[in-house]
Chain A
Amino acid sequence: MTLRLADIGVRVDPGYGLGGGVTAVLHEIATRLERLADTGEFDIIDLRSLPLSPADRDRLQSVLGTGEVEATVKIDGESKVRETGIAGVWWIEHRDADGVVIADLLEIARVPEILNVAQDELGRGAAALRARIARGGNQAIQEAP
């Protein structure tokens, strides 16, 4: 007798395991996005803490889509910041100097914090620029920010 697929007494529940987690994450993103719109409160989802298979990640990526902005932050390894097709949802992947992924996040914010400039940095930036102007504006490129 030939064994058919239907004879195997194991069923995969379509609502769990394959994709069920993705639907939950998508609902979570939508809820946090609504909260951002209402209160301005940002949020972050750590994708490495969720039991997502590679297929789940692909599905999550395809549902969120691709946006207009992509940035690379080069500090002690590269960080990729990608806007998804949903405004306010950013996919951020931090790698260390050896290229190992050290954080994989979805940040729900107007602008991801890693791209933002802090208040105290603005003051220091203005002072640094004044100093460069005073020196004739020729040493700009070599100096640390």
Chain B
Amino acid sequence: MTRNTIGEHLLQNGVSRRAFLKYCTAMASLMALPPTMGRAMAETLRAARRPSVIYHSFQECTGCLESFTRSFSPSVESLMFNVISLDYQDTLMAAAGHRAEEARAQAMKDNDGEYLLIIDGSIPTGDGGVYGAAGGQSYVNMLKEAGKGAAAVICVGTCSSFGGIPMAHPNPTGARPVSEIISGKPIVNISGCPPVPEVITGTLFQYVSMGKLPELDTLGRPKVFFGNSIHDRCYRRPFYDAGKFAKTFDDEGARNGWCLYELGCKGPTTYNACATVKWNGATSFPIESGHGCIGCSEPNFWDKGSFYAPLSSAAFGASGNVSPREAAKLVGAAAVVGGAIGLGAAAISRKRQETLAGAAPDKKGG
């Protein structure tokens, strides 16, 4: 199927070359690319054709799509109308039912091998995939079918990237990330619960404007957005270096904007662009609002213990916060190695029970 170039399309819609140059310059600045790239991106994009995009939402909460639609620069409407051709997204599209499924099938046929497949949500694989279905087809089969003809798969959110909350212990639906189901295709993970809006749109924009996928880190995330830890780019970092920590959410340290590390901030082990790109049109980010980072862009973030336990005590839980998954791993390892280490696991379990008992109301006294 022949589409207009983006330059022709923009011209038909009254978008001037200058407007487009400004847009690309802002994008290059957002993505910390060399500023001269803005002009190069504008030239490439004008000659490029809008790629077909098929967007599937599987086992998810719609938070990622909500985030996607709140991108300020580029705005999702400018991206949808000018840079990509969003041929299927069952929440945003006007068509519904079999007409929507026909549009999906047509887009896959017309753009075989060339379309971008965006996935948000994990994929339930337990019991033959019965826990998630649409249009009479299980999610796992829909993903396999749509994945065959895709040029690349973009995973939006921690669920499609790493399994996310649906895959958290005990994972009753057998939730899996895309990378465990699709093979042989380039996969980009834009993690976050939800991801920063501009990180989603910026990655798509970069793909179209540069004609290739961005450079990725070891977890398949674009380095341009996930190359630094929250801690490294946090404006509260000088307080960490000076040893000034808030001890509670309402003490003098908290009021003075000191480091939230001791209140459980996961910034040192979390890689994302929250501290630089920020949220709501660069207004703020969680740490700026007084709450520590919960590490939502990292794998298994839900099973790593309390959001309010400092990192140094997260593994064994200074306050007894041993996550079920961590405990299960420890117990499993103990079973293999032998009884001596098994006693260690039992001790952890005992400590957790004691903590829970200590936290519970005193039944004897009651």
Q: Which residues of A line the B interface, CB within 8 A? A: 42-46, 48-49, 73, 75-76, 79, 94, 96, 98, 100, 102-105, 113-114, 118, 121, 144-145
A103 contact from B16, B17, B26, Cβ within 8 A: B26
Instruction: Please report the C-alpha to C-alpha distance between residue A94 and residue B18 in the assembled complex, in whole angstroms.
Output: 12
B21 contact from A43, A114, A145, Cβ within 8 A: A114
Interface residues of B in 64-106 (CB under 8 A from A): 72-73
Contacts of A103 in B (CB 8 A): 22, 25-26, 28-29, 38
Instruction: Mark each residue of chain B from 195 to 239: 1 if its CB lies under 8 Å from any CB of chain A, else 0.
Output: 000000000000000000000000000000000000000000000
Evaluate contact between B16 and A75: CB separation under 8 angstroms: yes
Instruction: Mark each residue of chain B from 278 to 308: 1 if its CB lies under 8 Å from any CB of chain A, else 0.
Output: 0001100000000000000000000000000
Q: How far, in Å, is B9 (CB) from chain A's closest CB?
A: 15
A102 contact from B19, B26, B34, Cβ within 8 A: B26
Evaluate contact between A100 and B281: CB separation under 8 angstroms: yes
Given the interface pairs A75-B19, A103-B25, the reply to whether A44 lies near B73 with Cβ below 8 Å is: no
Instruction: Mark each residue of chain B from 230 to 273: 1 if its CB lies under 8 Å from any CB of chain A, else 0.
Output: 00000000000000000000000000000000000000000000
6 shortest interchain CB distances as A-B pairs: A44-B35, A102-B26, A46-B35, A75-B19, A103-B29, A103-B26
Evaluate contact between B22 and A94: CB separation under 8 angstroms: yes
Evaluate contact between B282 and A100: CB separation under 8 angstroms: yes
Evaluate contact between A102 and B29: CB separation under 8 angstroms: yes
Instruction: Mark each residue of chain B from 5 to 40: 1 if its CB lies under 8 Å from any CB of chain A, else 0.
Output: 000000000101111011101101110101110110
Contacts of B281 in A (CB 8 A): 98, 100
Evaluate contact between A73 and B18: CB separation under 8 angstroms: yes
Contacts of B32 in A (CB 8 A): 49
Given the interface pairs A44-B36, A46-B35, A103-B26, the reply to whether A96 lies near B21 with Cβ below 8 Å is: no
Contacts of A48 in B (CB 8 A): 29
Instruction: Please report the C-alpha to C-alpha distance between residue A100 and residue B14 in the assembled complex, in whole angstroms.
Output: 23
A49 contact from B14, B17, B29, Cβ within 8 A: B29
Evaluate contact between B29 and A76: CB separation under 8 angstroms: no
A96 contact from B18, B35, B39, B72, Cβ within 8 A: B72
Contacts of B38 in A (CB 8 A): 44, 103
Evaluate contact between A113 and B21: CB separation under 8 angstroms: yes
Evaluate contact between A94 and B25: CB separation under 8 angstroms: yes
Contacts of A46 in B (CB 8 A): 28-29, 34-35
Can you list 8 residue pairs at the A/B interface with Cβ under 8 Å? A46-B28, A49-B29, A75-B16, A75-B19, A75-B22, A94-B22, A103-B26, A104-B29
Given the interface pairs A96-B72, A96-B73, A145-B16, the reply to whether A79 lies near B39 with Cβ below 8 Å is: no
Tell me what chain B mostly uses at the interface: helix, strand, loop, or mixed: helix
B25 contact from A105, A118, A144, A145, Cβ within 8 A: A105
Contacts of B29 in A (CB 8 A): 46, 48-49, 102-105
Given the interface pairs A75-B16, A96-B72, A96-B73, the reply to whether A45 lies near B22 with Cβ below 8 Å is: no
Instruction: Please report the C-alpha to C-alpha distance between residue A49 and residue B34 in the assembled complex, in whole angstroms.
Output: 10
Contacts of A102 in B (CB 8 A): 26, 29-30, 73
Contacts of B19 in A (CB 8 A): 75-76
Contacts of B21 in A (CB 8 A): 113-114
Q: How far, in Å, is B329 (CB) from chain A's closest CB?
A: 42
Q: Which partner residue on chain B sits nearest A77 by CB separation?
A: B22
Instruction: Please report the C-alpha to C-alpha distance between residue A75 and residue B14 in the assembled complex, in whole angstroms.
Output: 11
Evaluate contact between A114 and B22: CB separation under 8 angstroms: yes
Given the interface pairs A44-B38, A98-B281, the reply to whether A76 lies near B22 with Cβ below 8 Å is: yes
B22 contact from A43, A44, A79, A145, Cβ within 8 A: A79
Q: Which partner residue on chain A sits nearest B36 by CB separation?
A: A44
Q: How far, in Å, is B55 (CB) from chain A's closest CB?
A: 25
With a 10 A CB-CB cut-off, give which of A45, A49, A102, A118 has the most chain B CB atoms: A102
Instruction: Please report the C-alpha to C-alpha distance between residue A105 and residue B39 in the assembled complex, in whole angstroms.
Output: 13
Q: How far, in Å, is B18 (CB) from chain A's closest CB?
A: 6
Instruction: Please report the C-alpha to C-alpha distance between residue A94 and residue B14 in the assembled complex, in whole angstroms.
Output: 20
Instruction: Please report the C-alpha to C-alpha distance between residue A100 and residue B19 in the assembled complex, in whole angstroms.
Output: 16
Instruction: Please report the C-alpha to C-alpha distance between residue A73 and residue B23 in the assembled complex, in whole angstroms.
Output: 13
Contacts of A75 in B (CB 8 A): 16, 18-19, 22
Contacts of B72 in A (CB 8 A): 96, 98, 100
Q: How far, in Å, is A88 (CB) from chain B's closest CB?
A: 16
Given A49-B29, A94-B25, 18 more A-B residue pairs with CB atoms under 8 Å apart are: A44-B35, A45-B35, A46-B34, A48-B29, A49-B32, A73-B18, A75-B16, A76-B22, A79-B22, A94-B26, A98-B72, A98-B281, A100-B282, A103-B38, A113-B21, A114-B22, A114-B25, A144-B14
